[in-house]
Amino acid sequence: MKFVFRMFFKALRVIIGPVMLLWELVTRPKGLARATAAQEKVDQQCRDMVLYQYRTCPFCIKVRQEMRRLSLNIEGLDAQQDGRNRDDLVRGGGQAKVPCLKITDQAGNSQWMYESGAIIEYLRGRFANA
């Protein structure tokens, strides 16, 4: 019975995944327009952030859409297909849960932020008026 459930959900992901990616592409928001110097400053701050994600996770899509809306160039790492990224996520953040935003400060200390709503709130608070 466990095998049947596993296969059912795998088939469901195979069918729904491309639809979700197409929806993300179709509903892509327009990025925030900033002066070149301001965008360079934002890009510099984004170099200290990494988003661990699954491509078809609806919560990850939600965060990526907000990143586009705010014109943030945050590196995205696939924690589903790449085992090294998943291992880094578990080792650093303590759990294999996505989306997860890793924020590294100037001293090299890392903060691991889970929950799409919290990530979006943080990004808006930090970059909406930048």
pLDDT tens digits, 21-53: 899 989 999 998 999 999 999 999 999 999 999
Residue 85, domain CATH: 3.40.30.10
- Domain range holding 25? 2-127
Please answer whether residues 65 and 28 qualify as being in contact, where contact means their C-beta atoms are separated by less than 8 angstroms: yes
Number of domain units in the chain: 1
E-only strand ranges, the chain: 49-53, 75-78, 100-104, 110-114
Answer whether residue 70 shows pLDDT above 80. yes
Of 91, 94, 99, 92, nearest in space to 74 by CA: 99
**Whole-number pLDDT of residue 94:** 94
pTM of the model: 0.87
Query: Kindly report the CA angle at 28 between 60 and 128, in degrees rounded to 5?
Result: 75
pLDDT tens digits, 74-99: 999 999 999 999 999 999 999 999 99
pLDDT tens digits, 6-23: 899 888 888 888 988 899
